[in-house]
Amino acid sequence: MSAPTEAAPRKLWGGRFSGKTDPLMEKFNASISFDSRFYKADVVGSQAYAKALARKHILTDAEAAKIHEGLDQVLAEWESSSFVLKDGDEDIHTANERRLGEIIGTAISGKLHTGRSRNDQVATDFRIWVRDESQKLITVLKELIGTAVVRAESEIDIIMPGYTHLQRAQPIRWSHLVLSHAWKWHADCLRLEQLLKRMNQLPLGSGALAGNPFGIDRDFLAKELGFDSIIPNSLYGVSDRDFVAEFLFWASLTMVHISCLAEDLIVYSTGEFGFIQVADAYSTGSSLMPQKKNPDSLELLRGKSGRVFGDMTGFMMTYKGTPSTYNKDLQEDKEPVFDAYDTVLGSLQITTGVLATLRVNRDKMLASLSIDMLATDLAEYLVRKGVPFRDTHHIAGEAVRIAEERRCTMADLKLEDFKKLHSAFEEDVVKVWNYEQSIENRNTPGGTSRATVLAQIESLKAFLQ
């Protein structure tokens, strides 16, 4: 049902002004090009507000029902991509209210904004959007963790060098490395859930800044819109964007974690390492060199972390200078969040694909192990014989030096050579030169032994379930 043709739409704020706005200023001021993403949050927020107005008899039940039905049509038009924007739709609130008036008439739709400001309206829409859309991020994060768990469980027998300072350090399980990244994503998931819990407070009912004059039941609104509580101060309610800062920090840190995995895999995919090969679906070639296979997916993931970090720092520079309550500077809060959200969501999906499809070269990993990586195990051998670790560390270092001077490995040294370093050495020292045993010795929770890696897998499975 359509109402009779209305006069040209009036600006929500236009009564004070008689002169025309510079067309450039119209464009500069408008946010509809990006805040239209709030269309659903704006509709459900307005439907709840109509109910609250009816409870205070500002709307009749019939009027509230008509507004609700009209907004359902507005939402359907957005969902079907048939919503038509018009001149004067400077933001999502203006556009939805204008369209609602066209559907049910302005005599009723004009009552919807009673006691409400775009200041508390946009703050509410934004929180709803971040809260609801973040569930997709949590879902994709868990899919990535699940991919890591499957990979770790199926490839638990693959042994590789572990590195510090990009220098070979000690032997570890490939699964242990994969799970080290999974635990970062686990922390990212928990951190986002905690952020959403912390931000789930309702600004609606704060008015422009001083509060609502019609006794609107804010607790009712909070329940209707899925908020845990109301923001207790109206000035704070319209100005707070800490949740934006926290979300952008979360996005930046999550991208750092993605970038760290990307860097590992880029290094391990080089010809010098050859530990892994990225699937063709996530690689490209060279326009000049036919032999090249470039891990472009990983390089893009690494690069996009800087983009998201820029979103955060740019917003913080805007946020730091705003006086109390709402200021138009805060219109700059949305695009960084949208960009960060889109980038993180896509990056998590690409990372999942890369991790699920890469090929591991177990033989190359095993061949990269070297006896000098067992120098710590040699020191630990003496500890088990009762020698203080500070002494055994020095003795093991001497053994490394002797082997280097003779251009052989420590495994090539004779028992007599070890006896000269310390009398506690016995014939069983040869058992030290076993990579698998070195790994199995790291059996304290959190270590790289089979049992402790399996325990990590079960813990992450429990989290995902």
Tens-place pLDDT, residues 244-279: 999 999 999 999 999 999 999 999 999 999 999 999
Provide CATH code, domain 119-367. Answer: 1.20.200.10
**Segment 258-264 long-range contacts (CB within 8 Å, at least 24 positions apart):** 258/301, 258/305, 258/347, 258/348, 258/351, 259/301, 259/302, 259/305, 260/181, 260/184, 261/181, 261/301, 261/351, 261/355, 262/298, 262/299, 262/301, 262/302, 262/351, 263/298, 263/302, 264/177, 264/181
Q: How confident is the model at residue 24 (pLDDT cuts 50, 70, 90)?
A: confident
| 154, 286, 370, 423: the active-site residue | 286
Cα 189 to Cα 170: distance, rounded to the nearest angstrom: 30
Q: Which pLDDT score, from 0 to 100, does residue 285 have?
A: 63
Phi and psi at 209, nearest 5°, equal -170, -30
Average pLDDT, the chain: 93
List the catalytic residue out of 18, 80, 81, 165: 165
Q: Both tokens of residue 456? A: 């990590």
Give, in degrees to the nearest 5, the angle at Cα 95 between 92 and 101: 140
Query: Residue 70: its pLDDT value, please?
Result: 98
Task: Pick the range with the lowest mean pLDDT from 31-35, 121-125, 168-172, 460-464.
Answer: 31-35
Topology annotation, domain 14-114: Fumarase C; Chain B, domain 1 (1.10.275)
158 pLDDT higher than 90: yes
Residue 108 CA: distances (Å) to CA of 151, 213, 228: 59, 20, 31
Q: What is the pTM of this model?
A: 0.91
Any idea where the domains of the chain sit in the sequence?
14-114, 119-367, 371-464
Question: What is the structure's pLDDT at 28?
Answer: 75
| Strand pairing category for 159-164 and 229-230 | unpaired
Q: Would you say domain 371-464 falls under CATH 1.10.3720.10?
A: no
Q: Is the pLDDT of residue 390 over 90?
A: yes
| Predicted pLDDT at 360 | 97
Q: Catalytic residue at 165?
A: yes
